């Protein structure tokens, strides 16, 4: 998909389909007046007759030359970012059903609270690519033909707005590509998206993008590094573990990187502490944190962002077998702390703690781990918000603000010594669970024991990385949040 920006709207000679917004009650958006003139008043007459109400989710294609698509914007009083995003989705989905190859979105000029030209453009590109996304299923039936739509323009009111619009479209397209990669990886079944598949994906990223270097460590190297906690999770699986390190150098040489640490459990059975069978298939999504690290690096490298980032992914399966770690076993982490494994289904923190320790090698200015870590976070926040905690208030505030800007929200959860106390063990330095209460917070407290001296934040995306039910599939979150944050770190 090619994106571009124009001032005003389509010229009289343009064959592009004009996309005109209509507010509820049949009120044409001011940005559609030029298109109506091009249609010789046909749009105004149609609205006056009451043939199109402008309700959110509605669309109507006016045939003829040039074609015009009417899109409902809903109530003018409640016009917001959410309505704008919905209108973009509706626009692209409607055009995808036609033979239209090029369109210009005129309602992007409509005033939008708390949103400048850059974000209107970025949301358009992100939304268009999301609307065209098709789940990468393995069905044997013939795939539907792709949409004819190949060029999408954004209309701005003034020529002075073009610079911000062009940047927003470029970065939005890159974020859209990163989200798509994240979704593709997470949607694959566990017998396809193995740790080895993730390692090969990293190598492919390095081949496609300059400035991206990759190193893959296997079991022998991980054992040499004394990552006993990570090794304990992988022990029960026949699939070889992979420790993946991806370095993106887009910023100035010598500038400390931001480290992104992703949980890469490519299938989580729970291990000896076996999960219930219902919905266990969704545990292929337990590598959503790792997938978001891949997607974020794809986005940054695609737009050649001027930042330095290192992506670290600890990838393995969590399976039961005669070799698997047992409840009550004690393992030693790379940092040297011993851990009593009271529940083998609390495995994400066991691989992340060694990955966090490894991240110190890069002397990062910030470390952010991303993980589908706890069902407790889903109970607390549901699907709208990722859980956010950490040891640095400025970093927490910056990530929260980035989530608000990107419409990829996170909620700040508490992290204190009281939760660390719940991890006491009679047999080791700490236990890997703290009991029934405050499960998301004790998981964060566990990770905090491995972050002394680091400026660190933790994103629990167990509720946001995928949807269940009829819409089952990965969402690509929190790639927009992470990219928005990183773009301001250059």
Q: Which of 81, 275, 365, 472 is catalytic?
A: 275
- What pLDDT sits at residue 261? 99
Task: Using alpha carbons, list the distances in angstroms from residue 434 to 35, 170, 326, 344, 438.
Answer: 62, 45, 17, 13, 8
* Helix (H) or strand (E) segment spanning residue 5: strand 2-7
Residue that finishes a domain, picked among 156, 190, 211:
156
Asked whether residue 335 is domain-assigned, the answer is: yes
The verdict on 132 and 213 lying in the same domain is no
Asked whether residue 163 is domain-assigned, the answer is: no
The verdict on 205 and 143 lying in the same domain is no
pLDDT class of 63 with cuts at 50, 70, 90? confident
Instruction: Kindly tell me if the per-residue pLDDT of 142 is higher than 90.
Output: no
The verdict on 212 and 96 lying in the same domain is no
Rounded CA separation 293/359 (Å): 14
Asked whether residue 285 is domain-assigned, the answer is: yes
* Residue 229 CB partners (closer than 8 Å, separation 6+): 331, 332, 333, 334, 339, 350, 351, 353, 354
Q: Residue 50 is encoded by which pair of tokens? A: 């009451």
The verdict on 20 and 93 lying in the same domain is yes
The verdict on 51 and 198 lying in the same domain is no
Residue with the two structure tokens 């990829």: 408
- What pLDDT sits at residue 414? 97
Per-residue pLDDT tens over the stretch 400-452: 999 999 999 999 999 999 999 999 999 999 999 998 999 999 999 999 999 99
Number of structural domains the chain divides into:
2
* Enclosing domain of residue 31: 2-156
Nearest 5°: the CA angle 100, 134, 399 is: 105
Asked whether residue 123 is domain-assigned, the answer is: yes
The verdict on 225 and 263 lying in the same domain is yes
**Residues linked to residue 60 through DSSP beta bridges, in sequence order:** 70
CATH of residue 103: 3.40.220.10
Residue with the two structure tokens 């033979």: 99
**Is the Cβ–Cβ distance between 408 and 477 less than 8 Å?**
yes
Asked whether residue 265 is domain-assigned, the answer is: yes
The verdict on 331 and 471 lying in the same domain is yes
288-303 vs 195-208: helix crossing angle, rounded to 10 = 10
Cα atoms in the 13 Å half-sphere on the side-chain side of 291: 31
Per-residue pLDDT tens over the stretch 341-398: 999 999 999 999 999 999 999 999 999 999 999 999 999 999 999 999 999 999 999 9
Closest CA to 302 of 246, 247, 248, 366: 248
Residues 184-218 as b/e (b if ≥16 CB within 10 A, e otherwise) read bbbbbebeebbbbbbbebbeebbeebeebebebbe
Known active-site residue 215 = no
- What pLDDT sits at residue 12? 67
Beta strands in 149-193 (DSSP E): 151-156
Residue that finishes a domain, picked among 156, 191, 221:
156
What is the DSSP track for 183-210?
Answer: HHHHHS-TTTS-HHHHHHHHHHHHHHST
The verdict on 290 and 404 lying in the same domain is yes
The verdict on 133 and 274 lying in the same domain is no
**Is the Cβ–Cβ distance between 281 and 186 less than 8 Å?**
no
- What pLDDT sits at residue 9? 79
* Residue 284 CB partners (closer than 8 Å, separation 6+): 186, 188, 189, 190, 193, 266, 267
Instruction: Kindly tell me if the per-residue pLDDT of 77 is higher than 80.
Output: yes
Rounded CA separation 80/74 (Å): 10
The verdict on 325 and 443 lying in the same domain is yes
Known active-site residue 275 = yes
Per-residue pLDDT tens over the stretch 213-253: 999 999 999 999 999 999 999 999 999 999 999 999 999 99
The verdict on 126 and 204 lying in the same domain is no
The verdict on 335 and 381 lying in the same domain is yes
Q: Which of 67, 183, 263, 349 is catalytic?
A: 349
Q: What is the average pLDDT across 124-151?
A: 93
Most confident of 64-78, 141-155, 205-219: 205-219
Asked whether residue 167 is domain-assigned, the answer is: no
Q: Which of 44-58, 135-149, 228-242, 270-284 has the lowest mean pLDDT?
A: 135-149
**In terms of residues, how long is the chain?**
490
Instruction: Kindly tell me if the per-residue pLDDT of 11 is higher than 90.
Output: no
Asked whether residue 165 is domain-assigned, the answer is: no
Residue that finishes a domain, picked among 124, 156, 188:
156
Query: How far from the centroid of its chain's Cα atoms is residue 19's Cα?
Result: 28
Asked whether residue 164 is domain-assigned, the answer is: no
Rounded CA separation 295/316 (Å): 19
Q: What is the average pLDDT across 266-277?
A: 98
Q: What sign has the CA pseudo-torsion 285, 289, 290, 293?
A: positive
CATH of residue 198: 3.40.630.10
What is the DSSP track for 335-353?
Answer: TS-EEEES-TT--HHHHHH
Mean residue pLDDT across the chain: 96
């Amino acid at each position: 998909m090619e994106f571009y920006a124009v001032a005003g709207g389509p010229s009289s000679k343009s064959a592009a389909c004009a996309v005109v917004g209509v507010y509820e009650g049949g009120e044409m958006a001011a940005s559609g007046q030029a298109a109506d003139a091009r249609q010789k008043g046909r749009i105004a007459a149609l609205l006056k007759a009451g043939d199109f109400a402008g309700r959110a989710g509605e669309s109507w294609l006016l045939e003829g030359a040039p074609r015009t698509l009417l899109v409902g914007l809903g109530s003018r009083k409640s016009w917001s970012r959410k309505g704008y995003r919905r209108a973009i989705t509706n626009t692209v989905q409607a055009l995808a059903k036609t033979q239209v190859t090029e369109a210009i979105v005129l309602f992007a000029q409509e005033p939008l609270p708390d949103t400048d030209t850059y974000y209107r453009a970025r949301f358009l590109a992100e939304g268009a690519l999301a609307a065209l996304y098709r789940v990468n299923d393995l069905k044997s039936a013939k795939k539907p033909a792709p949409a004819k739509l190949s060029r999408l323009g954004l209309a701005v009111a003034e020529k002075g707005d073009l610079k911000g619009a062009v940047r927003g479209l470029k970065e939005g397209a890159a974020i859209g590509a990163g989200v798509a990669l994240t979704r593709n990886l997470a949607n694959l079944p566990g017998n396809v998206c193995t740790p080895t598949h993730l390692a090969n994906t990293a190598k492919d990223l390095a081949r496609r993008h300059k400035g991206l270097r990759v190193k893959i460590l296997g079991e022998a190297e991980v054992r040499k590094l004394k990552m006993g906690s990570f090794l304990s999770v992988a022990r029960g699986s026949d699939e070889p573990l992979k420790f993946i390190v991806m370095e993106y150098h887009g910023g100035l040489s010598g500038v400390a990187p931001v480290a992104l640490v992703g949980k890469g459990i490519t299938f989580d059975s729970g291990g000896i502490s076996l999960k219930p069978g219902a919905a266990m298939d969704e545990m292929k999504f337990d590598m959503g944190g790792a997938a978001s690290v891949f997607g974020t690096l794809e986005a940054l490298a695609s737009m050649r962002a001027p930042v330095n980032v290192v992506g670290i992914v600890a990838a393995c399966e969590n399976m039961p077998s005669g070799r698997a770690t047992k409840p009550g076993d004690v393992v030693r982490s790379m940092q040297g702390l011993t851990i009593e494994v009271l529940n083998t289904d609390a495995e994400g923190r066991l691989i992340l703690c060694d990955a966090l320790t490894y991240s110190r090698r890069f002397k990062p200015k910030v470390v952010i781990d991303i993980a589908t870590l706890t069902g407790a976070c889903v109970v607390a926040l549901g699907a709208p918000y990722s859980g956010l905690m950490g040891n640095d208030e400025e970093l927490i505030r910056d990530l929260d603000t980035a989530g608000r800007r990107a419409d990829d929200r996170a909620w700040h959860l508490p992290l204190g010594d009281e939760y660390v106390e719940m991890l006491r063990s009679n047999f080791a330095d700490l236990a890997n669970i703290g009991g029934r209460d405050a499960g998301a917070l004790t998981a964060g407290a566990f990770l905090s024991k491995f972050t002394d001296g680091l400026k660190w934040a933790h994103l629990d995306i167990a509720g946001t990385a995928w949807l269940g039910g009829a819409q089952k599939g990965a969402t690509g979150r929190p790639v927009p949040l992470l990219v928005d944050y990183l773009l301001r770190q250059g």
